[in-house]
Chains A and B, each alone.
Chain A
Amino acid sequence: TPRHATPSIPSRSAPARKPGNVLEEARARLHVSSVPESLPCREQEFQDIYNFVESKVIDGTGGCMYISGVPGTGKTATVHEVIRSLQQASEQDEIPQFRFIEINGMKMTDPHQAYVQILQKLTDQKATPDHAAALLEKRFSAPAPKKETTVLLVDELDLLWTRKQNVMYNLFDWPTRRNARLVVLTIANTMDLPERIMINRVASRLGLTRMSFQPYTFKQLQQIITSRLNRVKAFEEDALQLVSRKVAALSGDARRCLDICRRATEICEHSAGLQKGSGLVAMSHVMETLDEMFSSSYITAIRCASLQEQLFLRAVIAEFRRLGLEEATFQQVFVQHQALCRVEGLQPASVSEGLAVCQRLGSCRLLLLEGSRLDLLLRIRLNVSQDDVLYALKAD
């Protein structure tokens, strides 16, 4: 085998099918991985990051920026967008040349692998983490007059945490060197991450250049979907509004929103096969999708459970009421269970059957159980609220 082979995956024998109808077209456009031409509703954030990086590149200095926000608010996409437009600008010689490298904390088995990946992306060298750290240290502290600026994007920063925090420390310390010319953009989910997990000398090096991405409002979500669809008419207006309002009320996660829209097109396609509709995604389809994706599966699980399992859950609640605690041993619950069996006119279950019922509920996580070795003495807690159980049991 060649020594420096580029890894590749086998290509498919026939090219991927082009979308045939409107719904398929919409689905392809709504896919989370299809990057849009521009990011709507993030103009301000885009401008801020752009100005920050541009000024550092032009000045030839270094710096850090911390970007936070809940998942699905467009942090990584915005940074990528910024880099893309900066690269365009540098190609047109408006700003000096710079290099962009990216690492992701979640793609590493160990925080110290960050050194190895940075070194490999910078110089194509392979080294052990310790050696890579030494090489990088030398590279960033040695004076080099014609060095170009490096922009380093660190995604999922919280996973680079180590006990001594030396990885984070180095990442934030290199930009402060006079000759480093390193711009570090860090992304994480929580806003107070520097205060929470970083020791003072790391947090102070990270600096106060912070930016937080707010969750999308329903108008923004609606705008995102419309811009994604780009005049492909697949959704009714009301349906779009319902999706964006629902998602905005819960999390403001754009990825979630896109997923729901895609699922709604699938449901629409399926039901169009059964009966001739308008071919557009209507409110009813969206409602069905929302039910599918947001409703709690616990209640369905309780409703579909066998009679003995439902009786057992009832016995658990009865025992909790009797004890006034949220915890009981199997022995206590089983006595209640047998009493309930008699009330219902069923043959009382044996201990092994009762334990089997209990452990089955435990394996679907409706109950929280201790190890099965304790048999009669194993403690039982409910994993769902008592009201949910009662609602699920009563509804029939």
Chain B
Amino acid sequence: MQCAGYPEDKLRSLADRLPCRETQVTTLLSLMGEPDQYSYPSIFIYGHRATGKSHVVFSVMKDLELPYTFVDCVECVSPALLFHRVLLAFFGPDAAASLPRCPSLSDFVRLYKQMSSKTPATQTRFIILDRAERTRDMDFSLLPALLRLQELVSDNVTVILLSQVVWEKFRPNTGCFEPLLFHFPDYNKADLVQILSRDHHPSYTPELYASYINILLGVFFSVCRDLRELRHLAALNFPKFCEPLEKGEAKESDIHKLWRNIEPHLQRAMQTVYLREVSSMQWKEQQMDEKETTTPRGLSAHAHIELPYYSKFLLIAAYLASFNPARTDRRFFLKSHGKIKKTNFLKKHEKTSNHLLGPKPFPLDRLLAIFYSVVDSRVAPTASIFSQIMSLVSLQLLTQIGHDDQLDAPKYKCAVSMDFILAISRTVNFDAVKYLYDFL
């Protein structure tokens, strides 16, 4: 890496620390120019998650000891915080303290100008805004002003915006100064292998770790190219991979044997750890205890909750009311029904699967009618039945539609999944599928 104005050795160490990003670093450095030269007013860097945008910019700034401030826009709930951070980083706490209580953009520019005339920039100052898409939601003049801050404060300052969103979605309708666009491409498989192999375990050879990474990517590359996620998975599953070596069942050269050992384990990890059904801690403990034969019960397996007897029926009734057309109720719920067949008396939109279109609202009367039909015993419509409906609403198992009237014919929607309902109906020995029009 050759770049005028910066010390050789630092550039070399930088190149070592940022593998597979040499071209990006060189381009960035050439955009920045020598430290005392004026740089381009604003640079917009975009790319997917975990493509090293912040990392590259941050390490370049830090290693080359440039004056910079790194601001995450998520933290800046108001532009005042952003202004404060910038002034604090460039001119010290005195400047930041002299900002008024609710600083406007012009306050910031005035104060910056005042300060920079006292201590003019000997090097380009950099303002790095991470997750810059948030600036669009702040004051509408903030983003256009930041893009031409160099011109506004007449100081050698460059604003670097980092985002996962493309520039087209940023451009304000009134137009603005166009920043330089700079794309960080995704890592390909070879890049990922190279980067992940760098953090190998000290007690094993790098070759072993590289082959482990290859196996890992063979399983996960088709679903995940996120470096952070892959690194997490690699660290989590490596002890399991090394188990046969520690037990002496295999040698480091028996890659095939190791692969056979780890592959089902990784497949299972995809369904559990990757979806965060099982936390990393639990996963580690399971590996320690060697209990992986019993399938771990994840978060979604815990998805059934204990409900009172009639609440269960109310919920089932609500589900049936939501996903059945109202015209079919007579056939399903009258005691003296004949043969149930899919007939042509339904309208066209009612014939398409209701489970694809989502739940439909139903009135309270229909809910109660279905409820009395599915419950075998006689239930008095007591206050407790009605309060159970309201508590189902407050548990967010039902949702109330149209808050115009609380008492007179309120409408509800069922907000639970089919699996949940089937689990519940199993506990009360009720065959819900038999009553669903879609599954007739």
Q: Which of B36-44, B47-55, B168-176 has 4 or more CB atoms under 8 Å from chain A?
A: B168-176
Cβ of A352 within 8 Å of any chain B Cβ, yes or no, is yes
Q: Are B166 and A372 in contact (CB under 8 A)?
A: no
A359 CB contacts on chain B under 8 angstroms: 168, 171, 173, 175
Cβ of B136 within 8 Å of any chain A Cβ, yes or no, is yes
CA–CA, A363 and B136, complex, Å: 17
B167 CB contacts on chain A under 8 angstroms: 352
CA–CA, A373 and B168, complex, Å: 8
Cβ of A371 within 8 Å of any chain B Cβ, yes or no, is yes
- Within 8 Å by CB of A360, from B136, B170, B172, B175, lies B175
Q: Are A372 and B175 in contact (CB under 8 A)?
A: no
- Within 8 Å by CB of A352, from B136, B168, B172, B174, lies B168
A279 CB contacts on chain B under 8 angstroms: none
Question: Chain B: which residue is nearest A376 at the CB level?
Answer: B168
Q: How far does the Cβ of B180 sit from chain A's closest Cβ, in whole Å?
A: 14
Cβ of A110 within 8 Å of any chain B Cβ, yes or no, is no
Q: Are B168 and A372 in contact (CB under 8 A)?
A: yes
Q: Are A372 and B174 in contact (CB under 8 A)?
A: no
Q: Which residues 328-371 in A have Cβ within 8 Å of B in the complex?
A: 351-352, 355-356, 359-360, 362-364, 369, 371
B170 CB contacts on chain A under 8 angstroms: 372
Q: How far does the Cβ of A140 sit from chain B's closest Cβ, in whole Å?
A: 40
Q: Are B168 and A371 in contact (CB under 8 A)?
A: no
Q: Which residues 98-138 in B have Cβ within 8 Å of A in the complex?
A: 136
Q: Are B168 and A355 in contact (CB under 8 A)?
A: yes
- Within 8 Å by CB of A363, from B166, B168, B169, B174, lies B174
Query: Which of B136, B167, B168 has the most chain A CB within a 10 Å cutoff?
Result: B168
A372 CB contacts on chain B under 8 angstroms: 168-173
Q: How far does the Cβ of A220 sit from chain B's closest Cβ, in whole Å?
A: 41
B171 CB contacts on chain A under 8 angstroms: 356, 359, 372
Q: Which residues 174-194 in B have Cβ within 8 Å of A in the complex?
A: 174-175
Q: Are A362 and B169 in contact (CB under 8 A)?
A: no
Chain B 372-405 near chain A by CB (<8 Å), digits 1 or 0 = 0000000000000000000000000000000000
Q: Which residues 76-118 in A have Cβ within 8 Å of B in the complex?
A: none
CA–CA, A355 and B172, complex, Å: 12
Cβ of A326 within 8 Å of any chain B Cβ, yes or no, is no
B173 CB contacts on chain A under 8 angstroms: 359, 362-363, 369, 371-372
Q: How far does the Cβ of B224 sit from chain A's closest Cβ, in whole Å?
A: 26
CA–CA, A351 and B166, complex, Å: 12
Question: Chain B: which residue is nearest A373 at the CB level?
Answer: B169
Cβ of A375 within 8 Å of any chain B Cβ, yes or no, is yes
B166 CB contacts on chain A under 8 angstroms: 352
Q: How far does the Cβ of A28 sit from chain B's closest Cβ, in whole Å?
A: 37
CA–CA, A362 and B175, complex, Å: 8
Chain B 137-148 near chain A by CB (<8 Å), digits 1 or 0 = 000000000000
Q: How far does the Cβ of A317 sit from chain B's closest Cβ, in whole Å?
A: 21
CA–CA, A375 and B166, complex, Å: 10
Q: How far does the Cβ of B157 sit from chain A's closest Cβ, in whole Å?
A: 25
CA–CA, A352 and B166, complex, Å: 9
CA–CA, A364 and B174, complex, Å: 8
CA–CA, A372 and B169, complex, Å: 5
Q: Are B168 and A356 in contact (CB under 8 A)?
A: yes
CA–CA, A351 and B167, complex, Å: 12
CA–CA, A37 and B168, complex, Å: 59
A369 CB contacts on chain B under 8 angstroms: 173
CA–CA, A343 and B170, complex, Å: 31
Q: How far does the Cβ of B328 sit from chain A's closest Cβ, in whole Å?
A: 38
Q: How far does the Cβ of A196 sit from chain B's closest Cβ, in whole Å?
A: 32
Q: How far does the Cβ of B172 sit from chain A's closest Cβ, in whole Å?
A: 7
Q: Are A375 and B168 in contact (CB under 8 A)?
A: yes
A356 CB contacts on chain B under 8 angstroms: 168, 171
Question: Chain B: which residue is nearest A368 at the CB level?
Answer: B173
Question: Chain B: which residue is nearest A353 at the CB level?
Answer: B168
Q: How far does the Cβ of B47 sit from chain A's closest Cβ, in whole Å?
A: 15
CA–CA, A372 and B167, complex, Å: 10
Q: Which residues 296-323 in B have Cβ within 8 Å of A in the complex?
A: none
CA–CA, A369 and B172, complex, Å: 10
Q: How far does the Cβ of A384 sit from chain B's closest Cβ, in whole Å?
A: 17
* 27 cross-chain CB contacts under 8 A: A351-B168, A352-B166, A352-B167, A352-B168, A355-B168, A356-B171, A359-B168, A359-B171, A359-B173, A359-B175, A360-B175, A362-B173, A362-B175, A363-B173, A363-B175, A364-B175, A369-B173, A371-B173, A372-B168, A372-B169, A372-B170, A372-B171, A372-B172, A372-B173, A373-B169, A375-B168, A375-B169
**Beyond A351-B168, A356-B168: 14 further Cβ-contacts under 8 Å?**
A352-B166, A352-B168, A359-B168, A360-B175, A362-B173, A363-B173, A363-B175, A364-B175, A372-B168, A372-B169, A372-B170, A372-B173, A373-B169, A375-B169
Q: Which B residues have a C-beta under 8 Å from some C-beta of A?
A: 136, 166-175
Q: Which A residues have a C-beta under 8 Å from some C-beta of B?
A: 351-352, 355-356, 359-360, 362-364, 369, 371-373, 375
10 nearest interchain CB pairs? A363-B175, A355-B168, A372-B171, A359-B171, A373-B169, A352-B168, A375-B168, A363-B174, A369-B173, A372-B169
